[in-house]
A and B are shown apart, each in its own frame.
Chain A
Amino acid sequence: MTTRLNLRFNQDTLSGALCVAVAVVGLVAGHSLDMGTAAEMGPGYVPRLLCLGLLGMGLLIALLGLRSPGARPTPVAWRPLLVITGAVLVFAASLERLGLALAVILAVVIASLATPGARAREIVTAALMLAIAVVLIFVTGLGLPVPVLPALDR
């Protein structure tokens, strides 16, 4: 059972599958792009050639992966993956609305949740210090055109 699983879900077969998937998306989404001729190539000429190449490459890698099973990928650590991504997205969502200072504090506090056993006081202190430093460097120093605090009167 495990060997068969290894066979199917090793790093090579999965990489190959990824390439095949991207190539298929490319071929389908690029279906309507004009091919043109060699002398006057349309926008679809190179993408189609490329996707066919990627498809072939993906299949080759996957098949070789089936023949000689490589390592299985290590399990995905969901907590850092989701928390870090979330921190960046919250930063993006709050930067222009709440201003740079609050966005930094929010992002730092959320990112800190990626590791277990984070201490609240430590995190808040670090977030405040980072927010001050970042505002001083980017807005005061470099003149980045971004609000620092929420715009209350506008």
Chain B
Amino acid sequence: MDFLFGNIVHGLAVAMTPANLGLCLIGCVLGTLIGVLPGLGPTATVAMLMPVTFRLEPTGALIMMAGVFYGSQYGGSTTAILVNLPGESSSVVTCLDGYAMARQGRAGAALAIAALASLFAGTVTTFLIAWAGPAIASVALQFQSPDYVAVMVLGLVAAVVLAHGSVLKAVAMILLGIFLGLIGTDVSTSEQRFTFGLDTLFDGIGFVPLSMGLFGLAEIMFNLEGGGEANRTRVAIDRLWPTRQDFREATPAAIRGTLLGCFLGVLPGGGSTIPSFAAYSLEKKLARDPSRFGHGAVEGVAGPEAANNAGAQACFIPMLSLGIPPNAVMALMVGAMMIHGIQPGPQIIQKQPDLFWGLVASMWIGNAMLIVLNLPLIWIWVKLLEVPYRFLFPAVIVLCGIGVYSIDNRLSDVVLMAFFGVFGYGLRKLDCEPAPLLLGFILGPLIEENFRRSLMLSGGDPSVFVTRPISLGFLTVSAVLLAAVLLPAFQQRREQWSEES
């Protein structure tokens, strides 16, 4: 413990130099901004910052880049709550209850809960990185392909749980999402699948055009039905701050979300998306009255928001202690280190103590800055909702367009977004939920890749999935969870039928 304390003090000394504090602030402000702007994600921003980092001292550069990354997790929930626009894959589930809260005039409370849950998760995870980073990373090294398959199957089962309508339709939406995910170049054979000769589809459909079309554009089309303001009943905004009741419900959810986020965030490819979906499903399963979910349940905001922030910071563990970047932003940070001649990897804590502990300490300082920055902003965001919708929606459309374009500088992505806007509108008409579709889209290709690899390595023997303890464990949990969802649904159906006959 002494060792930890000494290191944290050392790290604080590094992070508290005026230059590093300034860089941390710049990173957090920028992160909040780009998190709020739909589409423009931390990856694009950190990439744009790369040239600046040439001139900076490496620790400062990394502190700033990290600030952009976790800052965007705070900002990302803002558009999700205000206009049903998930800027990041990790804020898709925040749309479900956050936006519902906003429609009930509780946007302020939703934003505050999201920010506080994020702060809590950020603080806990920072200490976790400091205390047990390398140990946690070595757990992640136990994971092999069959185990990833099992974890992701659990994720898909979670998608069924998070649906609030028909279970059958949710399963169908997951399958549809997996199908969309399979479009593009097959990782295992480099063969084109379902690209119909279109260059645009060679790398598959991007997550951002898909989600912004399904959620953002479809929502606007839906709101404009019947012309103008009619469908967006203005709700008086009663109070900005959450009630005591809100806090009571949100606190345990935030704690569970944090733990889930820390654990799942460490896994390569996990990042912050899977944790947020998993946290939402967990909350819904634990809730005494699951029917509140989707209609403005506070836990549905607190759990996923804590989980995605914890996941975002837990990503630093494999990056710092193994040199293995679990996502694109971490890859950029590895790049920034390489430019300065630092090879990230298992020896970084010994070789670059200033950088490691300074970065860890700055995350905690950055989280504190973010909360100071974000709480007063809530007032401004809520005011934004009072802008007449006829001005708001064209602005959202334009921001979506630029945001989608900025990812890869590709116009075809903007066209894809328009297509998925129409598709999403159609799904809404049919009462099909887009959230399970998105999760299938994210997880499907990963499952396929790992599934094929598992069988390739086992020589076609499917028993690998049950002989490895990690895989067996996750599959058992999935089966139990699935049974818990399906049985009531079938019972209901049976009762319905017996009533009919």
Contact = CB atoms under 8 A, between A and B. Distances in A.
Asked if the two chains touch in their complex, CB atoms less than 8 Å apart, one says: yes
Interface of A: 11-12, 14-16, 18-19, 22, 26, 29-30, 33-34, 37-43, 45-47, 50-51, 53-54, 57-58, 60-61, 64, 68, 70-71, 73-74, 76-77, 79-81, 84-85, 87-89, 91-93, 95-96, 100, 103-104, 107-108, 111-112, 114-118, 126-127, 130, 134, 137-138, 142-146
B402 A138 contact: yes
B168 A19 contact: no
A18 to B, nearest CB: 7
B228 interface: yes
B401 A88 contact: yes
Nearest to A40: B456
A100 B402 contact: yes
Interface in B133-159: none
Contacts of A37: 460
B460 A73 contact: no
B460 A130 contact: no
A54 B390 contact: no
A107 B462 contact: no
Contacts, number: 202
B411 to A, nearest CB: 5
A95 B390 contact: no
A54 B394 contact: no
B168 A115 contact: no
A88 B217 contact: yes
Given A47-B193, A112-B390, A18 B40 contact: no
B175 A19 contact: yes
Contacts of B372: none
13 contacts: A11-B431, A15-B432, A16-B172, A19-B172, A38-B455, A43-B191, A61-B166, A84-B224, A88-B217, A92-B415, A93-B411, A114-B224, A115-B228
Interface stretch (B69-77, B361-369, B422-430): B422-430
Contact of B172 (A51, A54, A84, A88): A54
User: Which of A30, A70, A142, A143 lies at the interface centre, i.e. has the most chain B CB atoms within 10 A of its CB?
Assistant: A142
B401 A107 contact: yes
Interface string B415-455: 10110011001100111100000000000100010011001
B373 interface: no
The CB with the most chain A CB atoms within 10 A, among B191, B390, B451, is that of B390
B228 A117 contact: yes
Interface stretch (B100-108, B119-127, B176-184, B253-261): B176-184
A25 to B, nearest CB: 8
Contact of A91 (B395, B414, B459): B414
Given A73-B430, A138-B402, A145 B409 contact: yes
Contacts of B48: 142-144
A26 B444 CA distance: 15
Contacts of A29: 194, 196
Contacts of B376: none
A50 B182 contact: yes
Interface string B21-47: 000000000000110010010000100
Contacts of B426: 18
Contact of A84 (B40, B220, B496): B220
Contacts of A79: 224, 227
Given A54-B176, A88-B418, A117-B228, A111 B397 contact: yes
Contact of B189 (A42, A54, A89, A127): A42
B405 A43 contact: no
Contact of B430 (A11, A40, A42, A57): A11
Nearest to B194: A29
- Nearest 6 A-B pairs (CB), nearest first? A39-B460, A80-B224, A92-B414, A88-B418, A77-B225, A111-B394
B418 A92 contact: yes
A84 B182 contact: no
Contacts of A95: 401, 405, 411, 414
Nearest to B30: A142
A23 to B, nearest CB: 8
A43 B193 contact: yes
A103 B217 CA distance: 18
Contact of B401 (A54, A92, A117): A92
B406 interface: yes
A19 to B, nearest CB: 5
| Residue of A11, A26, A88 ringed by the most chain B CB atoms within 10 A | A88
A101 B430 CA distance: 37
Contacts of B391: 126
B188 interface: yes
Contacts of A144: 48, 402, 406
Contacts of A87: 394, 397
B18 interface: no
A22 B455 contact: no
Interface in B263-297: none
A58 B193 contact: no
Given A92-B414, A108-B394, A39 B402 contact: no
A43 B186 contact: yes
A58 B399 CA distance: 36
Contacts of B168: 57, 60-61, 64
B492 to A, nearest CB: 12
A134 B172 contact: no
A103 to B, nearest CB: 8
